[in-house]
């Protein structure tokens, strides 16, 4: 379609309820500084062994953003994108209500349900992204250690139960000097403070520092300890 025809069609659409689909809307669940921070983390692990993983990727907006950064910076690593692609798991919501005394209306209807794996895969293809391996699963029933070595992880599964299960498995395969960013580490959030609780419990158990930046991003860094003449990773055993 030539630009003149496209402009005419856009002008027609703008005078209808379709205007919301032809004008720009900021779709990210991260602020601009938060997205920039994620890119800095990716840059910091450029030379660290292992793939990248986004656990809880939704429709793929952030996946596209990070992968376009990888393209621009010529960082050639596999990228795993893991999600139910159908919203929250009922057992996870039930846990929030029964064990954490949350109002069930917080989770009754959510945009995360408006998703499908084939839509996510099409988004990757449309944006020319070929490195992403999408996996449809409930992390409660999936051994994340099977992903192998990881240099960077964005963990964004929102609720306490899947966070609690995912953190030790991902840390187990996080390479020395690798970085894991845990989203929604905000104790004041009504719906997502389970992430904050799970994150703080985990780093405390592992004797790691609590580090929350940009209001809600919890950081887990995999250290290297020196023993004798060699370097041995301090892992989760």
Average pLDDT of the residues of the chain: 91
Beta partners for 182?
155, 218
DSSP code of residue 3: H
Question: Residue 231 has what pLDDT?
Answer: 52
Of 157, 207, 166, 227, nearest in space to 185 by CA? 157
Distance between CA atoms of 88 and 161, rounded to whole angstroms? Answer: 11
Task: Please list, in sequence order, all residues whose beta carbon lies within 8 angstroms of the beta carbon of residue 191, skipping any fewer than 6 positions away.
Answer: 102, 106, 107, 158
Rounded Cα distance, 195 and 157, in Å:
8
- The matching CATH number, chosen from 3.40.50.150, 3.30.200.20, 1.20.1200.10, 2.40.50.140, for 28-233 is 3.40.50.150
Q: Are 33 and 61 in contact (CB under 8 A)?
A: no
pLDDT at 28: 83
pLDDT of residue 236: 37
Q: How many residues does the chain have?
A: 237
* Domain spans in the chain, listed from the N-terminal domain onward: 28-233
Reading across the β-sheet that carries 217-221, which strands appear in turn?
A: 132-136, 79-83, 51-55, 150-155, 174-182, 217-221, 212-213
The string of pLDDT tens digits covering residues 8-51 is 887 887 788 877 776 767 778 899 999 999 999 999 999 999 99
Rounded Cα distance, 104 and 97, in Å? 6
Predicted confidence at residue 196, as pLDDT, reads 96
Give me the sign of the Cα torsion angle 198, 204, 208, 210.
Answer: positive
pTM for the model stands at 0.88
Residue 78: pLDDT over 70: yes
- Cβ(77)–Cβ(130) under 8 Å? no
* pLDDT value of residue 109: 62
% of the chain surpassing 70 pLDDT: 92
pLDDT of residue 227: 62
Phi, psi of 185 (to 5 degrees): -85, 70
CA gap 31, 20 in Å, rounded: 21
Q: Which residue in the block uniquely carries the two structure tokens 């209306």?
A: 105
d(CA 123, CA 63): 10
Q: Is the pLDDT of residue 54 over 50?
A: yes
pLDDT of residue 49: 94
DSSP strand pairing (217-221 vs 212-213): antiparallel
């Amino acid at each position: 379609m030539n630009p003149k025809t496209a402009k005419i069609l856009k002008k027609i659409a703008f005078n209808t309820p379709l205007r919301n689909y032809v004008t720009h809307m900021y779709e990210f669940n991260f602020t601009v500084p938060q997205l920039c921070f994620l890119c800095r983390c990716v840059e910091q692990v450029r030379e660290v062994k292992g793939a990248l993983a986004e656990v809880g990727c939704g429709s793929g907006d952030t996946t596209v953003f990070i992968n376009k950064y990888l393209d621009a910076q010529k960082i050639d690593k596999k990228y795993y994108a893991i999600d139910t692609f159908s919203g929250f798991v009922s057992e996870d919501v039930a846990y929030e209500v029964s064990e954490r005394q949350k109002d069930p209306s917080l989770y009754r209807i959510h945009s995360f349900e408006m998703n499908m794996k084939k839509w996510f895969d099409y988004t990757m293809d449309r944006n020319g992204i070929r490195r992403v391996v999408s996996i449809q699963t409930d992390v409660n029933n999936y051994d994340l250690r099977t992903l192998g070595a990881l240099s960077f992880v964005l963990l964004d599964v929102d609720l306490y139960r899947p966070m609690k299960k995912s953190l030790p498995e991902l840390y187990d395969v996080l390479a020395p000097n690798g970085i894991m960013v845990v989203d929604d580490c905000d104790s004041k959030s009504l719906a997502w403070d389970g992430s904050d609780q799970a994150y703080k419990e985990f780093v405390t158990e592992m004797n790691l520092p609590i580090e929350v930046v940009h209001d809600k991003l919890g950081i887990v860094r995999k250290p290297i300890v020196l023993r004798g003449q060699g370097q041995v990773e301090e892992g989760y055993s």
